[in-house]
């Protein structure tokens, strides 16, 4: 009967040797496993590896080595190009105060009545980092796109605004997305906070 060494035993041995820098402990674990096989007349996949060799010698682990890759003179250039490539996500926060009612909420729900919130909106864009300035793009452009929207929303009754007749945070997130999508290239996420513990995350779908 031919068995592969238990992966957990080998993994434990390698982990102990790496973490506590004491290969004798790892070799001891491997010997215990090897002897347990021998006591039942079993052989390892490698025909009975000597316990002295341990789990770190080439004859035990050589079979797990990755296949050789033909030399390619363009590999260095490819790696260099990949190392220069960087993507990042830029997020900017905005706040405003507004009143609202939710006319489609169930009868008796407290949100059907007039109430207000201190809203927080997070606008995130994602893209390649321009190596020259070192940013995705100037985050002031997000502020420029949000400024007229905040002026419209701050200290307003949201239900009077076109598109926000039922101003749930879900509908508000979609409203912001439609307003910002053309002005903020790479727009990837909008988060609308209704309270410190309640928010809606929207990614345009």
Residues identified as active-site:
111, 155, 194
Beta-strand pair 2-3/43-44:
parallel
Closest among 105, 180, 129 to 192, alpha carbons compared: 180
Three-class SS of residue 17? helix
Three-class SS of residue 81? helix
Closest among 146, 148, 144, 145 to 94, alpha carbons compared: 146
Q: Which residues contact 167 (CB under 8 A, 6 or more apart)?
A: 100, 102, 158, 159, 161
Q: CA–CA separation, 97 vs 88, rounded Å?
A: 30
């Amino acid at each position: 009967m031919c068995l592969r060494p238990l992966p957990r035993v080998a993994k434990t041995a390698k982990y102990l040797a790496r973490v506590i820098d004491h290969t004798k402990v790892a070799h001891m674990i491997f010997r215990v496993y090897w002897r347990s096989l021998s006591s039942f007349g079993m052989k390892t996949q490698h025909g009975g590896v000597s316990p002295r060799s341990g789990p770190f010698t080439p004859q035990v682990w050589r079979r797990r080595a990755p296949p050789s890759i033909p030399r390619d003179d363009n590999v260095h250039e490819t790696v260099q190009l990949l190392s220069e490539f960087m993507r990042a996500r830029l997020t900017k926060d905005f706040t405003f105060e507004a009143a609202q009612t939710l006319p489609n909420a169930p009868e008796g729900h407290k949100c059907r009545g007039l109430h207000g919130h201190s809203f927080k909106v997070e606008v995130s864009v994602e893209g390649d980092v321009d190596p020259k300035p070192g940013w995705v793009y100037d985050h002031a452009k997000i502020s420029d796109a949000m400024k007229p929207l905040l002026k419209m929303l701050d200290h307003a009754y949201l239900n009077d605004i076109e598109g926000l007749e039922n101003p749930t945070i879900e509908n508000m997130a979609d409203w912001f997305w439609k307003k910002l999508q053309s002005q903020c290239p790479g727009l990837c996420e909008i988060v609308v906070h209704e309270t410190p513990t309640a928010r809606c995350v929207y990614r345009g779908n």
